[in-house]
């Protein structure tokens, strides 16, 4: 099994030759669905070269790079990190809507920023280091 780390989750999926995944696993990991038009999400489709799609499988590394996102593999190519494209982060912030997130509190309860709509929120980072 290959471990894939995305900005919000991690997955263990079977992969071949790098990051070739079954279309259903590709959809689970990336949120994009393989269609005849290419990889699609909502109203948008990204055409895929024939070298990146074969027999119901998708070269997710090639797809992610086409989106403009970094793809980093471990030495043994058993753990991969797919990073958000810079454009996506900038567009989200420039819209000025505070990017939503869910993180566990110190007791393990998941907390989501958008649950606090209606209040003024002071969002501050800290660290023991």
Partner 1 sequence: MWQHLYDELKNKGFMVVAVAEESRGAEHARPWIEQARGSGSSSYWQLIDTEHRLEDLYNLVNVPQAIWIDEQGMIARPPETAGSTDHFRRMNLETKTMAPEDQAARLAARQAYLDAVRAWVMTGEHALPPASARAGLPRVTPEIAEARARFRLGVWLRTHGRAEEGDRQMAQASRLHPDSWSLWRQAADLDEVGKASGPEFWKRVQELGDRPYYPPPKL
Complex with partner 1: residue 51 or 97, whichever CB lies closer: 97
CB of 56 to partner 1, least distance (A): 27
Provide CB contacts within 8 A for 113, sequence distance 6+.
98, 100, 101, 102, 121, 123
Residue nearer to partner 1 on the CB measure, 46 or 98: 98
The footprint of partner 1 on this chain (CB under 8 A) covers a number of residues equal to: 54
DSSP 8-state secondary structure symbol assigned to residue 117: T
Is residue 105 a contact point for partner 1 (CB under 8 A)? yes
- The HSE-up count of residue 71 (CA atoms within 13 Å, CB side) is 15
Binder to partner 1 among 24, 54, 70, 77 (CB under 8 A)? 70
Strand partners, 40: 33, 45
Question: Does residue 126 belong to the site contacting partner 1 (CB under 8 A)?
Answer: yes
Please give the C-alpha separations between residue 92 and each of 67, 86, 89, 99, 118, in angstroms, as whole numbers: 15, 10, 5, 7, 20
Q: Which residues bind partner 1 (CB under 8 A)?
A: 3, 5, 7-8, 10, 68-72, 74-75, 79-86, 89-90, 92-94, 96-101, 103-108, 111, 113-114, 116-129
């Amino acid at each position: 099994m290959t471990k894939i780390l995305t900005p919000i989750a991690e997955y263990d999926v079977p992969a071949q030759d790098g990051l070739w995944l079954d279309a259903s696993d590709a959809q689970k990991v990336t949120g994009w669905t393989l269609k005849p038009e290419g990889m699609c999400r909502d109203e948008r489709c990204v055409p895929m070269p024939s070298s990146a799609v074969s027999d119901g499988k998708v070269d997710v590394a090639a797809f992610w790079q086409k989106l403009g996102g970094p793809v980093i593999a471990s030495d043994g190519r058993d753990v991969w990190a797919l990073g958000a494209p810079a454009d996506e982060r900038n567009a989200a912030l420039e819209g000025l809507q505070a990017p939503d997130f869910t993180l566990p509190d110190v007791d393990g309860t998941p907390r989501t920023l958008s649950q606090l709509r209606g209040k003024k929120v002071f969002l501050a980072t800290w660290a023991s280091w």
